[in-house]
Chain A
Amino acid sequence: MNILPELQPTLADLTERFGGRIEAVHVPRPNEVYFHAQMELVPGFCAQLYKKWNARLVSLFADDALAQDGAFHIYYVFALYAAHGFFILRVPVSPEQPKFISLTNALPAANWQEREIQDMFGLKLEGHPNPRRCALHDDWPEVHPLRKDFDLHTVLPPFKGERHKFREVEGEGVFQVPVGPVHAGIIEPGHFLFSVAGEPVLYLQIRLFYTHKGTEKLFENIPVTHGVRLAESISGDSSFAHATAFCHAVERAANVEAPPRARALRTVCLELERIYNHIADIGAIATDVAFVVANAHAMRLKERVLRLNEHLTGNRLLRGMASLGGVRFDWSADQIEAIRQFMTWLRPEFESLVGLISDSSSTRDRLETTGILKPETARDLGVVGIAGRASGFDHDVRRDFPHAAYEGLNFVVPVYEEGDVLHRMQVRIDEVHAALSIIEQVLARMPDSPTRVSVPTLPANRIALGYVEGWRGGILHWIRTAENGRLARCKIKDPSLQNWPALSEAILGNIIPDFPVVNKSFNLSYSGTDR
């Protein structure tokens, strides 16, 4: 397979530098390049990609390949946004010496993902600054659920409820404030431990994975077609984006492309998902600084988007629409007209909502310079999506890795350097405008074609990466097929997983009463992280 020309210089540099230590280069698709090597190459190879080529570590995961290769594999997925391709390093870990080198000190973005591998596969981390459990809580027995010898339906001994030991923060006048996992609002569960001196936060420890429900393991136990429905439940507010990322991965593995009309419909659905979530977040940010009227209007608009979703797909969260090889439902001329009318209605309504907020100086005062995430920190942590763009990272999977019908569309990717709550909100405002324009462009040249092509049953051991710019940021699904039309592995990467540690940084020096608004300005998915 030919490699994308833009990726050639990086490939040449890596081959020159690491030569024979790269055992094989495998290019299943022009923008997806695999390098096979041994563990000792990992630090140097990753540093070269990150420092010289400005590639970002976007996913890090393991795969139990004992049956065919006698080893576990660890995959380091780097996105080269400017060159529009993914470079993926694969290294084996032998079951006799189940350990791997930590990259966290050099590349903090690896932190949680490495610890998750340690928990789920029982591969021991070496050189990690905080190698404690992460995905499986402290009371779990020594099990490694993503190993092939672990059965999905294993009944584990009852929960004993051992207490997690947080890091101590000591000093005169230092208090610890624990919050969660059950929160005061209607939100997902997670635990936050604040260490404060007076009002300012000195340190925030975030403990997640409360909603871990064995999703990745479950993917290995169901037919691929059912996987589409399961993907819709990875993160409910991103149902369509996750399901589409999953379909994209399967389609790429099968070398099938969804027909043009299906890609256009996917694009409209992805943008509708972005619009309703962004509007809800803008309202929620206003609520968290006590501007409740703005939220009431935002919720009114959100409700109308959900009703349009229902009219177009039969479900308010766009569930049931995604399908392998395209989409399930075509839209009639009436339905397309309903979208047009809705957009005509929404535009001034949204303008008016934004005006309400921007005209309120007291709201602006609370949002400006609150919860700053510095561009350098964002870069080290590999922060993507809204938070990444508000902290200077100019990227967008829709523009840099065109999927669905984004190729050739004209839209602006908002990028700011300030990194505060105000600018995370501004990114959302800009993106709603862009989304409206994208939908308009798609409707203006709606292609005529079937909305679905059949996807053949895949042979074993095909691998593929599917990607979508969800409203939070880039979503990646990586699959390896098994016999009998099932999957041997489905790695789900929600952008939240690598954005959460950034919240701990953004809140430093802010006061606890500002935490809700800072948290909301990130609005990360717990379920997408915990899976």
Chain B
Amino acid sequence: MFDILLKSLTTGVVTTDYPRTPPQVSRQARGRPEIDFPNWTDARPAVAVCPTGALACADNDGMRNVTLDLGKCTFCGLCAEADPAIRMTNVCELAATRKSALITLAKYEIAPAGTHRKLLDHQPSILNPQPASVEAVGTELKASIGKAFGRSLHIREVDAGSCNGCEVEIVGLNSPVYDIERFGIHFVASPRHADMLLVTGPVSRNMELALRKTYDAMPAPRLVVAVGACGCSGGIFGQNYASLGGVDKVIPVDVYIPGCPPNPHALLHGILTAVGRL
């Protein structure tokens, strides 16, 4: 008993200050890809190597529409390897309340050879809230949770066909390093006790009913957060005979957290974003 206490004392506090301090991610970490749109000469080589179709283009009548969908992106960085106009940043706070906010659009006039002649239009993704305002969300958190749910937010996690990668990181929220309970947020065993459903996986056909039933068992008001590329869009599995292609194909989603898997900072950012919206 004394040994246990001594070990805790000598270990000290290991908990991050996030969101008061920025996420502790390595410079090597691959987060949001950044594209130099004005100087981009050809989208096709990068599109060809994208395993999930997060980067896609369609040519029509001398024009090319390019989309970069963070909801599909697994941040593998193959596009950046294939194309010097693309750079992987280590930005991981990417949660959005609307799926469309995860999408960057660009329109090019193209030459007969298929290369870009001129950038006609460029609409960056509008992530909501911007990372700078997360701190504000954090401080508002207590008040907003207080208003809707008393003093705490209860989360039920559902794996709707995930590969278990997202679970590895979600479990980390309960570790002393991220310690989600410092926000008054708890993971609970039953949907009946939950205010928020945290859903991973592309929703496999075999989990559809279980997910629906879990959602139906929750009392209102309730929130749904879709986690990871699979939860947002089906990810690398997409839509097929056994995969429905995203949580919002089955139940309404309030917040989308991109990532494959999102790291615990990104998860915290998404959960805080969801609560800020209440």
Interface residues of A (CB under 8 A from B): 137, 140, 143, 145, 150-156, 159, 161, 181-182, 184-189, 209-215, 217-218, 222, 225-226, 229-230, 233-237, 239, 280, 293, 296-297, 299-300, 302-303, 306-307, 310-317, 319-320, 328, 352, 356, 359, 525-527, 530
The answer, among B157, B167, B191, B243, for a CB contact under 8 Å with A236, is: B167
| Most B CB within 10 A of own CB, among A143, A217, A236, A297 | A236
Residues B124-160 near A (CB distance < 8 A) = 157-160
Please judge, given known A-B contacts A153-B239, A217-B240, A234-B163, whether A159 and B189 are in contact too, CB under 8 Å. Answer: no
The reply to whether the CB of B258 lies closer than 8 angstroms to some CB of chain A is no
The answer, among A189, A233, A316, for a CB contact under 8 Å with B236, is: A233
Is A154 a contact of B4 with CB atoms below 8 Å?
no
The reply to whether the CB of B71 lies closer than 8 angstroms to some CB of chain A is no
A201 to chain B, nearest CB (A): 21
Is B29 a contact of A310 with CB atoms below 8 Å?
yes
Chain B residues contacting A314 (CB-CB under 8 Å) are 26, 28-30, 77, 88
Nearest residue in A to B29 (C-beta to C-beta)? A310
The reply to whether the CB of B168 lies closer than 8 angstroms to some CB of chain A is yes
Nearest residue in B to A184 (C-beta to C-beta)? B189
Residues B229-250 near A (CB distance < 8 A) = 230, 235-237, 239-243
The reply to whether the CB of B220 lies closer than 8 angstroms to some CB of chain A is no
Chain B residues contacting A315 (CB-CB under 8 Å) are 29-30, 75
The reply to whether the CB of B14 lies closer than 8 angstroms to some CB of chain A is yes
Chain B residues contacting A530 (CB-CB under 8 Å) are 204, 206
Is A299 a contact of B176 with CB atoms below 8 Å?
yes
The reply to whether the CB of B97 lies closer than 8 angstroms to some CB of chain A is no
Nearest residue in B to A180 (C-beta to C-beta)? B210
Please judge, given known A-B contacts A159-B209, A211-B206, A307-B26, whether A299 and B4 are in contact too, CB under 8 Å. Answer: no
Please judge, given known A-B contacts A217-B240, A317-B261, A525-B164, whether A296 and B205 are in contact too, CB under 8 Å. Answer: no
Sample (19) of A-B pairs whose CB atoms are under 8 Å apart: A182-B158, A186-B171, A187-B167, A189-B207, A213-B161, A213-B242, A214-B243, A218-B240, A226-B51, A229-B76, A230-B51, A236-B163, A236-B168, A300-B176, A302-B175, A311-B28, A317-B165, A530-B204, A530-B206
Chain A residues contacting B60 (CB-CB under 8 Å) are none
The reply to whether the CB of B187 lies closer than 8 angstroms to some CB of chain A is yes
Chain B residues contacting A213 (CB-CB under 8 Å) are 161, 201-202, 204, 237, 240, 242-243
Docked complex Cα distance between A319 and B207 (Å): 26
A229 to chain B, nearest CB (A): 4
Docked complex Cα distance between A481 and B191 (Å): 46
Is B4 a contact of A293 with CB atoms below 8 Å?
yes
Is A153 a contact of B75 with CB atoms below 8 Å?
no
The reply to whether the CB of B25 lies closer than 8 angstroms to some CB of chain A is yes
Is B165 a contact of A239 with CB atoms below 8 Å?
yes
Chain A residues contacting B174 (CB-CB under 8 Å) are 186, 299
Is A230 a contact of B236 with CB atoms below 8 Å?
yes
Chain A residues contacting B3 (CB-CB under 8 Å) are 356, 359
Docked complex Cα distance between A445 and B164 (Å): 34
Nearest residue in A to B230 (C-beta to C-beta)? A233
Across the A-B interface, the 3 shortest Cβ-Cβ residue pairs: A236-B165, A299-B175, A184-B189
A450 to chain B, nearest CB (A): 16
Chain B interface residue count, Cβ-Cβ cutoff 8 angstroms:
68
Nearest residue in B to A225 (C-beta to C-beta)? B49
Docked complex Cα distance between A155 and B240 (Å): 7
Interface residues of B (CB under 8 A from A): 3-4, 7-8, 11, 14, 24-26, 28-30, 49, 51-52, 74-78, 81, 88, 157-172, 174-177, 187, 189-191, 201-202, 204-210, 214, 230, 235-237, 239-243, 260-261, 263
B89 to chain A, nearest CB (A): 11
The answer, among A211, A237, A302, A359, for a CB contact under 8 Å with B204, is: A211
Is A211 a contact of B162 with CB atoms below 8 Å?
yes
Is B201 a contact of A320 with CB atoms below 8 Å?
no
Docked complex Cα distance between A145 and B263 (Å): 34
| Most A CB within 10 A of own CB, among B88, B158, B164, B207 | B164
Is B26 a contact of A311 with CB atoms below 8 Å?
yes
Nearest residue in B to A233 (C-beta to C-beta)? B163
